[in-house]
Structure 1
Amino acid sequence: MSKALDDLIALLDLESIEVNIFRGQSPREDRQRVFGGQVAGQALVAAGRTVSADRAVHSLHAYFIRPGDPSIPLLYEVERIRDGKSFSTRRVLAIQHGKPIFNLSASFQVDEEGLEHQLEAPEVPDPLSLPDFEETMAPWADSMGDWYYRPRPFEIRYVLPPTMAKLKQPREPKQMIWLRADGELPDQPLLHACLFAYASDMTLLDSTLLPHQLSWMDRRIFAASLDHAMWFHRNARADDWFLYDMVSPTTQHSRGLAQGKMYDQSGRLLLSVAQEGLIRVRD
């Protein structure tokens, strides 16, 4: 297991400080605000630790209220909304400086058999046939600075070109990447779900910029996640390769909507994701 993945798992191992109250830390990195995927993953850990082990998360819905301060711990308060025969519902509030910065509602379900179908997965190259992150990003290494060399908990292989350089012409609002956790993980379903939640915030809003010939390297761009939703369809492991297929149906009023689907290598649809982000182009 890579050190970056080991550090991420440590971040997700929240400290229990009272019944329904947990404390989480942030990595010691030069960030202006806490990464949204980290807060979502930690909040899901907090919710999951109050639910019996026979119930797996099937959906979450969250709002990013204020930027998280990476220099101090995050406090997670869990409200046990309901425990029924098949479903459990939890609400989690993340607090810093005495104010809420994030809230999450999550639903958990016992395993049940039922109807099953899905749309076919897109046909894409095998992940190991594609260049790794360092090779893909090498043309922009100097402008990326420390971010290029920073260890990452997930391996990333781009199916479509990354949203980095200034585009010569508009592109379709689509992005595709292969991902997998950089190391073998234990058989803990909640941990895998939380790692998927962490990864779901990676590159998701990229597709909102492509039709406008913009990239994250453009310093005029200010972006922040506003809300986030996930549906967990099938059991999956975050340390196996999974395809993240993303598209932006619309941008308007300084907001962009992005939707994503995650598939395993056999083409099974694992998760669906939706996020709206604030996207401002400064003069």
Structure 2
Amino acid sequence: MTTVNDLLNLLVLEKISDTEFNGISKTIGSPIVFGGQVLAQAINAASRTITNNRVLHSMHSYFLEAGNLELPITYNVSVVRDGGSFSVRRVTAHQKNRTIFILSASFHKEEEGYDHQIPMESGLKQPEELLSWTEILQQYGDFLPSSMKTFLKIERPVEFKPTEIVNPLDKKDLPPFSNVWFKLKGSTKDLDLATKQQVLTYISDYNILSSTLYPHASKAHWGNTQTASLDHSMWYFRDFDFDDWMLYSMESPSATSARGFARGNIFTRDGKLIASVAQEGLVRPIVK
């Protein structure tokens, strides 16, 4: 995938019935299905059963088994409730006879209410001052571990620019924080809110677990640690557009028992908070 159109084609599912949909998979460099893809496809399935114009405001999910890239994924949607203000859907994802993922999503009618948000961190380097993943590969590829080089070589519909480049060869522990600017490749005009939320959800599964390894970077890295998303929750606050760079600000409050917890906030470039994310992942040291 190289542009947002490729991503949209991946996220829009084949309709089997009013509550059953099929999806295909594209690799992001991993031998298993990318969690962000499953999240976004499941939300696509749930959204297509909403007929009262309600807007997604939260979702909570669990990754149960690794997805096979070669097999289609079937998403079954259960209509849990359509109340006076909220509609709830439950989505179960299957490959053959295996349940690989479950998600609950809540949709809310449009209402007026109180409005506040935390501010975006000030003083961060702007995207124009930073190197993208592509540029990092071009400039430092000869010095990067082979697994990282392979990952960075994959074509993506999203460009990422971390505010700080972590040197994998510099064995020192780091603070559990990370800020990454991101922008879609290609035209994003005329996307409706539901589609924008699905794309944002896809992107939200990138980068977030990295902050759980930073405090242990003197000894831990992707090559000697088994990692996997265990769950993923997200809250959607405000409408937005993808026409400029956006900031994903992440932190890891805790890691213990081979699990790391991370949370993040997603801002528009002008500081509007549009979503928050929480994820716990497996971060298991590989014992040789």
Q: TM-score, normalised by structure 2?
A: 0.92
Q: 1:127: how far off?
A: 1.5
Q: 1:6: how far off?
A: 2.1
- Give runs of aligned pairs for residues 156-235 of structure 1, distance below 5 A: 156-162=160-166, 165-185=168-188, 186-213=190-217, 218-235=222-239
User: For residues 156 and 251 of structure 1, what CA distance do their matches in structure 2 show?
Assistant: 25
Q: Which amino acid aligns with 2:236?
A: F
**CA 1:39–1:215 in 2, change beyond 3 Å: closer, same or farther?**
farther
User: For residues 247 and 33 of structure 1, what CA distance do their matches in structure 2 show?
Assistant: 25
User: For residues 269 and 147 of structure 1, what CA distance do their matches in structure 2 show?
Assistant: 29
Residue 273 of structure 1 pairs with residue 272 of structure 2: no
User: For residues 258 and 69 of structure 2, what CA distance do their matches in structure 1 show?
Assistant: 26
Which segment drifts farther, 141-150 or 88-97? 141-150
**What's 1:25 paired with?**
24
Cα contact 1:196–1:238 (8 A) shared by 2: no
Cα contact 2:29–2:151 (8 A) shared by 1: no
Q: 1:218: how far off?
A: 4.3
Q: Which amino acid aligns with 2:86?
A: F
User: For residues 58 and 28 of structure 2, what CA distance do their matches in structure 1 show?
Assistant: 30
Q: 1:56: how far off?
A: 1.1
**What's 1:132 paired with?**
132
Q: 1:28: how far off?
A: 6.0
Q: 1:167: how far off?
A: 3.5
Q: Which amino acid aligns with 2:11?
A: L
Deviations 1:46-101 (A, max 9, x none): 00001126211000000000000110100000001111222110000000121110
Number of residue equivalences? 281
Cα contact 1:32–1:70 (8 A) shared by 2: yes
User: For residues 57 and 214 of structure 1, what CA distance do their matches in structure 2 show?
Assistant: 40
**CA 1:129–1:80 in 2, change beyond 3 Å: closer, same or farther?**
same
Q: Which amino acid aligns with 1:21?
A: E
- 1:249 is paired with a residue whose SS is strand
**CA 1:224–1:218 in 2, change beyond 3 Å: closer, same or farther?**
closer
RMSD, matched Cα: 1.9
User: For residues 117 and 29 of structure 2, what CA distance do their matches in structure 1 show?
Assistant: 41
Q: 1:111: how far off?
A: 1.5
Q: 1:208: how far off?
A: 0.5
Unaligned stretches of 5+ in structure 1?
none
- 2:230 is paired with a residue whose SS is strand
Deviations 1:30-58 (A, max 9, x none): 64210000000000000000112621100
Q: Which amino acid aligns with 2:266?
A: M
**What's 2:115 paired with?**
116
User: For residues 114 and 24 of structure 2, what CA distance do their matches in structure 1 show?
Assistant: 41
Deviations 1:184-241 (A, max 9, x none): 2232111110111101000100000011115885421110000000000111123432
Cα contact 1:75–1:96 (8 A) shared by 2: yes
- 2:209 is paired with a residue whose SS is helix
Q: Percentage identity across aligned positions? A: 38
Q: Which amino acid aligns with 1:44?
A: I
- 1:204 is paired with a residue whose SS is coil
Residue 37 of structure 1 pairs with residue 36 of structure 2: yes
Unaligned stretches of 5+ in structure 2?
none
Q: Which amino acid aligns with 1:168?
A: K
Residue 14 of structure 1 pairs with residue 13 of structure 2: yes
**CA 1:133–1:29 in 2, change beyond 3 Å: closer, same or farther?**
closer
Q: Which amino acid aligns with 2:6?
A: D
Q: 1:255 aligns with which of 259, 273, 278?
A: 259
**CA 1:159–1:84 in 2, change beyond 3 Å: closer, same or farther?**
same
Q: Which amino acid aligns with 2:182?
A: L
Q: TM-score, normalised by structure 1?
A: 0.93
Q: 1:152: how far off?
A: 1.0
**CA 1:274–1:208 in 2, change beyond 3 Å: closer, same or farther?**
same
**What's 1:49 paired with?**
48
